[in-house]
């Protein structure tokens, strides 16, 4: 099974006759083949997807912290009995399904057809609604997209003709084999396409676990350097938003932007009267239109793909995109960001963490939906190792503080900062950690958290029915789930990896006389990946979907992987006692951003 996925890309199905060609995909047979091709591709990516050591360590730690551990420490004979490969623990239900799928369809063809027609009508209705809400923005955006492609493509061709060496590969026959447009061209294209793509660029820059190093490096500049808006335009927006001349509010505004980022441009300023050093974050003109058009387009594309290939529904792609769309559209309302910042500050103050971390104070009298005036934080990004060393003696400790404060907020606040990329986490000149940019936040409902806690506790004490019930609570489903049967299938998966945490690596150094022995616990990354994927797979088989609220959480864990690699490459998230998962106050006592009125 695995070896099938190792080949990538999977070969295009050859079963189509030459006459059918690409159009053959439109025939029922071609459609079936295309579908299996897509599934195989997805299967491949699920297998090669590496959650990164940080994300894995965190997930496993979460499991261990809430569990009694006894069950995980069963003798390794259990493992031998079940085989060390998780793939051997095939839940009975999967086998039954695989057999059934090839024989009798579960529904009569008429019912199935009627269902498809119903789904199609719903899809049409939703697409129409989204098209109306996108309005003329869609056409404008298309024109902008074409313009960006033509410009960047033109630059590439120009470079090719004027300096062919730089655009050709280093092959033996220069000039003959063209190097395809590389990271630099892609980055320029993203910058021209604006907000949505810059966000995507930030994702690439912040997740080296997922993307090739040359792209990660090239996209660093998306973190807060994008083409700036002229200062005159910024002044006009601030004047209009605040309803009075700038001089009445600020003593000084630096015309040189501090940063021009994906959705906003930030200028340093000084408040009139109090003389406080602040920054003014101004929403770039047209950003709402760009985000609305792009995100609607992506969402509709995913909906259509899911309709054409219902198997895709298993990936929860549409739900995840729907959530990302909603959270990004919220980002363009700075009143919400102000509330998120204040909720975070409350949490930090209430838990006595303000000597370790902070977020900027918001000045409401000069903040609106499009302008946010806040305390200026002085410091350097958490990824600037050289500068950090001049501020704090031990960057690893600072990283651990940042992680603990963030984990604490995850459990203590109603929302969590879901965009802590390199540009948004600072080491301040006084050594504290500064969190900025609370535009994108994630929400995991108390009910889902409770289910997550039950899930991890039940791993520890081997209560597989409780684990099944918790997963049912996490994954939205309309169908009744057979909990005992689901529990049995989960048990099969887990008993196959009982000694997940008992791999002890012993190494010796020195000669026979003065040998030193070091031992450490290690978790096999691939095993953990497989375990998680198997749980997701068997859950999906019972009609559950991966909880979509976890998309942003997982993205954030991947970002932390980068920080860990850079600042504390030897840090073991799983074993290090300094990394705490935070204490969660009883549900309902979280620091609710909604309690204060803007
Ligand atoms: N309070 C602050 N103090 C100092 N610098 C700040 C502050 N707020 C923002 N900045 C600077 O401005 C940059 C962009 O700000 P911010 O991240 O809030 O904008 P954005 O458009 O939401 O960015 P992103 O592209 O990260 O989503 C930051 O990376 C930082 O360099």
- Residue closest by Cα to atom 11 of ligand 1: 259
User: Closest Cα partner for 400 from 245, 514, 568, 250?
Assistant: 568
CB 54 within 8 A of CB 30: no
Which DSSP symbol is given to 373? E
- The residues near 60 (Cβ < 8 Å, ≥ 6 apart) are 500, 501, 523, 528, 574
User: Closest Cα partner for 267 from 284, 292, 243, 285?
Assistant: 284
CB 226 less than 6 A from any atom of ligand 1: no
**Which tokens sit at 85?**
């490969």
Q: What is the pLDDT of residues 6-21, one digit of tens each?
A: 333 334 344 444 334 3
pTM: 0.62
Give the number of C-alpha atoms closer than 13 A to the C-alpha of residue 327, restricted to the C-beta side: 24
Q: Which atom of ligand 1 is nearest to the CA of 376?
A: 3
Q: What is the pLDDT of residue 313?
A: 63
Cα–Cα dist 282/199, whole Å: 17
Q: Which residues share a beta bridge with 433? A: 357, 427
Q: Which atom of ligand 1 is nearest to the CA of 360?
A: 1
Q: What is the pLDDT of residue 45?
A: 40
CB 258 less than 6 A from any atom of ligand 1: yes
Domain segments of the chain as ranges: 29-67+120-151+180-224+288-330, 446-510+519-544
Low-confidence ranges of the chain (pLDDT < 70): 1-181, 206-210, 223-226, 309, 311-317, 319-321, 323-324, 327, 422, 476-478, 497-530, 546-549, 551, 562, 573-575, 580-598
Which DSSP symbol is given to 225? B
Cα Rg of the chain, angstroms? 27
Q: What is the pLDDT of residue 31?
A: 45
Cα–Cα dist 474/273, whole Å: 52
User: Would you name the residues annotated as active-site residues?
Assistant: 419
Tell me the helices (H) and strands (E) count for the chain, helix number first: 23, 13
CB 436 less than 6 A from any atom of ligand 1: yes
Tell me how far the alpha carbon of residue 229 lies from the centroid of ligand 1, in angstroms.
Answer: 15
**Through-space distance between the first and last CA atoms of the chain, rounded to whole angstroms:** 55
CB 482 within 8 A of CB 500: no
- Residue closest by Cα to atom 1 of ligand 1: 376
CB 377 within 8 A of CB 426: yes
CB 598 within 8 A of CB 338: yes
- The residues near 319 (Cβ < 8 Å, ≥ 6 apart) are 545, 548
Q: ipTM of the predicted structure?
A: 0.96
Cα–Cα dist 422/380, whole Å: 10
Tell me how far the alpha carbon of residue 120 lies from the centroid of ligand 1, in angstroms.
Answer: 43
Q: What is the pLDDT of residues 561-584, one digit of tens each?
A: 767 777 777 777 666 777 766 544
Q: Break the chain down into helix, strand, coil percent, rounded to 5.
A: 55, 10, 30
Q: What is the pLDDT of residue 344?
A: 94
Strands (E), 432-554: 433-435, 441-443, 503-509, 516-522
Task: Determine the 3-state secondary structure of 530 from DSSP.
Answer: helix
CB 200 less than 6 A from any atom of ligand 1: no
Tell me how far the alpha carbon of residue 252 lies from the centroid of ligand 1, in angstroms.
Answer: 19
Cα–Cα dist 554/506, whole Å: 32
CB 79 less than 6 A from any atom of ligand 1: no
Cα–Cα dist 311/23, whole Å: 22
Tell me how far the alpha carbon of residue 58 lies from the centroid of ligand 1, in angstroms.
Answer: 27
CB 381 less than 6 A from any atom of ligand 1: no
Residue 237, by phi and psi: left (phi above 0), alpha (psi -120 to 50) or beta? alpha
For a mutational test of ligand 1's pocket, the pick from 196, 261, 334, 439, i.e. the residue with the most ligand atoms closer than 8 A to its C-beta, is 261
CB 414 within 8 A of CB 590: yes
């Amino acid at each position: 099974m695995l070896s099938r996925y190792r080949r990538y890309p999977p070969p295009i199905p050859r079963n189509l006759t030459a006459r059918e060609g690409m159009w053959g995909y439109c025939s029922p047979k071609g459609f079936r083949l295309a579908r299996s091709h897509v599934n195989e591709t997805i299967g491949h990516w699920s297998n090669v997807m590496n959650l990164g050591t940080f994300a894995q360590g965190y997930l496993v730690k979460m499991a261990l912290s809430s569990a009694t551990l006894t069950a995980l420490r069963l003798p390794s004979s259990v493992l031998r009995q079940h085989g060390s490969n998780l793939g051997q623990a095939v839940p009975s239900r999967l086998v039954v399904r695989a057999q059934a799928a090839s024989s009798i369809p579960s529904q009569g063809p008429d019912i199935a057809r009627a269902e498809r027609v119903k789904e199609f009508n719903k899809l049409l209705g939703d697409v129409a609604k989204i098209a109306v809400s996108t309005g003329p923005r869609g056409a404008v955006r298309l024109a902008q997209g074409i313009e960006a492609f033509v410009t960047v493509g033109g630059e590439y061709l120009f470079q090719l003709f004027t300096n062919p060496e730089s655009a050709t590969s280093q092959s033996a026959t220069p000039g003959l084999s063209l190097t395809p447009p590389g990271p630099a061209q892609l980055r320029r294209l993203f910058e021209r396409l604006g907000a949505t793509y810059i966000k995507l660029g930030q994702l690439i820059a912040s997740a080296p676990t997922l993307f090739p190093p040359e792209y990660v490096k090239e996209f660093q500049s998306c973190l807060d350097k994008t083409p700036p808006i002229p200062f005159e335009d910024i002044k006009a927006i601030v004047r209009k938003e605040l309803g009075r001349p700038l001089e009445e509010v600020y003593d000084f505004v630096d015309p040189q932007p501090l940063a021009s980022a994906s959705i906003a441009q930030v200028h340093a300023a000084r408040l009139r009267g109090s003389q406080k050093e602040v920054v003014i974050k101004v929403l770039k003109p047209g950003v709402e239109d760009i985000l609305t058009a792009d995100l609607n387009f992506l969402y509709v594309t995913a909906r259509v793909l899911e309709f054409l290939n219902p198997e895709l529904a298993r990936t929860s792609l549409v739900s995840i995109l729907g959530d990302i769309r909603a959270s990004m559209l919220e980002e363009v309302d700075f009143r919400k960001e102000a509330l998120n910042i204040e909720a975070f500050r409350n949490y930090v103050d209430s838990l006595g963490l303000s000597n370790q971390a902070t977020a900027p104070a918001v000045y409401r009298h000069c903040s609106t939906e499009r302008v946010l005036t806040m305390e200026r934080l002085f410091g350097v990004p958490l990824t600037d190792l050289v500068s950090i060393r001049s501020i704090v003696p031990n960057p690893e400790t600072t990283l651990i503080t940042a992680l603990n404060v963030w984990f604490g907020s995850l459990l203590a606040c109603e929302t969590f900062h879901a965009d802590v990329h390199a540009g948004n986490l600072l080491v301040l000149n006084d050594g504290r950690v500064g969190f900025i940019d609370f535009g994108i936040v994630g929400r995991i409902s108390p009910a889902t958290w409770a289910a997550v806690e039950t899930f991890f506790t039940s791993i520890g004490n081997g209560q597989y029915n409780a684990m099944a019930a918790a997963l049912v609570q996490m994954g939205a489903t309309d169908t009744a789930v057979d909990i005992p049967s689901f529990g049995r299938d989960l048990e099969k998966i887990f008993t196959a990896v009982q000694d997940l945490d008992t791999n002890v690596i012993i190494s010796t150094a020195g000669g026979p006389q003065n040998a030193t022995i070091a031992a450490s616990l290690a978790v096999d990354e691939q095993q953990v990946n497989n375990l998680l994927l198997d749980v997701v797979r068997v859950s999906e088989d019972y009609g559950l979907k991966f909880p979509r609220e976890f998309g942003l959480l997982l993205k954030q864990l991947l970002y932390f992987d980068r920080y860990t690699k850079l600042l504390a490459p030897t840090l073991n998230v799983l074993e290090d006692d300094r990394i705490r998962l935070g204490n969660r106050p009883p549900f309902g006592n979280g620091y609710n951003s909604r309690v204060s009125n803007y």
